[in-house]
């Protein structure tokens, strides 16, 4: 696919990465943990929890674990993490409640407004490794206006498996180049381009917190690069 912007009339579906792209997992988890357990380093806790995510998915995709929802992977990581933060004493109810913090992540300030504008022209879906129930709970709480919630759980494969990106096109009976992935992560976007989708990078310099600012410089290959979802709506004329 040539590295040119898609024609707005060609695109039909925008598929969104969620964790970090649409919602602020770090800030939300940090705030929950610090409110529940004063004295805990919420910044370190949030980043440690998230750091366990890729290794856990790798165990599923390698076949070491059978198909496992992210809710259950998050819980496995949480259980292994609690002793490091002096929270080994948390009981089952407290762990269940804390694990569901991932269902209560807050959107970035531009997300709802940007999505609302983009939805006037395009079909908007999630394409997240998060499970369907997590994504539906999050959307209902945060007012994220999806037309459809798609997830690794639907395709029984985690991104960056091609079945996920091609699965979006197939779900809507479209060619891959009628779909654009919107994400704050270059590896996700690169895998989508490898399947023939268009790609839009969203700058989220504070994804890992103010103490760990992320480089959001443009990278060759992405078809669009925007500072926010409102800026993406501007670029697509919505």
The CA distance from 159 to 225, in Å, is 21
The CA distance from 90 to 79, in Å, is 9
The CA distance from 141 to 146, in Å, is 13
Near its own copies in 75-94, by CB under 8 A = none
The smaller minimum CB distance to its own copies, of residues 47 and 111, is found at: 111
Phi, psi of 199 (to 5 degrees): -140, 135
- For residue 155 the two structure tokens come to 């395709």
The CA distance from 182 to 68, in Å, is 25
68 sits near its own copies (criterion: CB under 8 A):
no
228 sits near its own copies (criterion: CB under 8 A):
no
Shortest reach from residue 207's CB to its own copies, in Å: 26
Q: Are 182 and 222 in contact (CB under 8 A)?
A: no
Near its own copies in 133-192, by CB under 8 A = 133, 135-137, 139-140, 147-150, 153-154, 171-173
Shortest reach from residue 31's CB to its own copies, in Å: 24
The smaller minimum CB distance to its own copies, of residues 112 and 148, is found at: 148
- For residue 114 the two structure tokens come to 């940007």
Count of residues engaged in binding its own copies, rule: CB under 8 A: 20
The smaller minimum CB distance to its own copies, of residues 226 and 236, is found at: 236
- For residue 73 the two structure tokens come to 């992977």
Shortest reach from residue 152's CB to its own copies, in Å: 12
- Contact residues toward its own copies (CB under 8 A) are 71, 123, 125, 131-133, 135-137, 139-140, 147-150, 153-154, 171-173
């Amino acid at each position: 696919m040539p590295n040119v912007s898609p024609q707005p009339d060609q695109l039909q579906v925008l598929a969104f990465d969620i964790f970090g792209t649409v919602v602020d997992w770090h800030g939300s988890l940090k705030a929950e943990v610090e409110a529940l357990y004063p004295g805990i380093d919420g910044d370190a806790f949030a980043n440690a929890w998230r750091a366990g995510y890729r290794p856990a998915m790798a165990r599923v995709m390698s076949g070491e674990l059978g198909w496992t929802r992210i809710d259950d992977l998050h819980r496995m990581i949480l259980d292994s993490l609690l002793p490091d933060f002096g929270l080994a004493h948390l009981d089952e109810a407290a762990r269940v409640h804390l694990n569901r913090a991932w269902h209560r992540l807050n959107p970035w300030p531009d997300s709802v407004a940007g999505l609302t504008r983009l939805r006037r022209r395009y079909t908007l879906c999630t394409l997240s490794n998060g499970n369907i129930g997590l994504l539906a709970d999050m959307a209902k709480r945060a007012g994220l206006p999806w037309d459809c919630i798609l997830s690794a759980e639907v395709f029984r494969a985690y991104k960056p498996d091609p079945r996920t990106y091609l699965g979006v096109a197939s779900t809507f009976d479209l060619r891959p180049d009628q779909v654009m992935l919107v994400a704050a992560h270059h590896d996700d976007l690169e895998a989508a381009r490898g399947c023939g989708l268009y790609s839009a990078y969203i700058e989220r310099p504070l994804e890992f917190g103010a103490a760990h600012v992320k480089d959001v410089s443009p990278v060759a290959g992405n078809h669009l690069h925007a500072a926010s979802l409102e800026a993406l709506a501007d670029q697509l004329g919505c």
